Amino acid sequence: MRIIGVDPGTNITGYGILDFEKPNKFKAIDFGTIKLSPKSEFNDKLTQIHIQLTALLEEFKPDAFVIEESFYGVNPKTIIKLGHARGVSILAAKLKNIPVFEYSPKEIKLAVVGNGGASKQQVQFMVRVLLKLTINLKEDEADALGAAICYTNKIKFEKNKRR
């Protein structure tokens, strides 16, 4: 099963693609960031997020699309813009008929680190360990891969629950 995790943002959107075979057996296929100029018009940024994610979906053909849920912050304008980035990201998956799964940052941290209040650095470290990566990950890449890992944990839980 191939899974793409996405950490949406209006300047940087992280993505990570995993192949998942069985519990605790997954492999990073690709990861990176979609970087957008802070000077670009907001609607142009949304268009680029959609275009670039669509290209990734066409290239890697994932079976599941996992995205971080919005969190509540102090700046409502930022939250609204993030919601738009999430929307065009989800639209890219839905137009390709890929099932979408959403998890909160707390759920993702709990699945990856074992602590829902883990720091960004702890998530980066554990994603590297779990995927046996030797290179450093950017925060957005680690968060996206973490979302995909969270989904694999949910699959394991659901299978065990059905027994």
Which pair of tokens denotes residue 83?
Answer: 């919601």
Rg (CA), the chain: 15
Catalytic residue among 7, 107, 141, 143: 7
Catalytic residue among 19, 58, 59, 68: 68
For residue 2, which of 18, 13, 25 has the smallest C-alpha distance? 18
- 156 in Cβ contact with 23 (< 8 Å): yes
Provide the token pair at 23. Answer: 């519990």
Amino acid type, 104? S
d(CA 71, CA 115): 17
Torsion of CA 71, 77, 83, 84, to 10 degrees: -160
The catalytic residue among 107, 140, 141, 143 is 140
7 is catalytic: yes
Distance CA 51, CA 65 (A): 16
Query: 44 an active-site residue?
Result: no
User: Has 140 been annotated as catalytic?
Assistant: yes
Residues classed as catalytic: 7, 68, 140
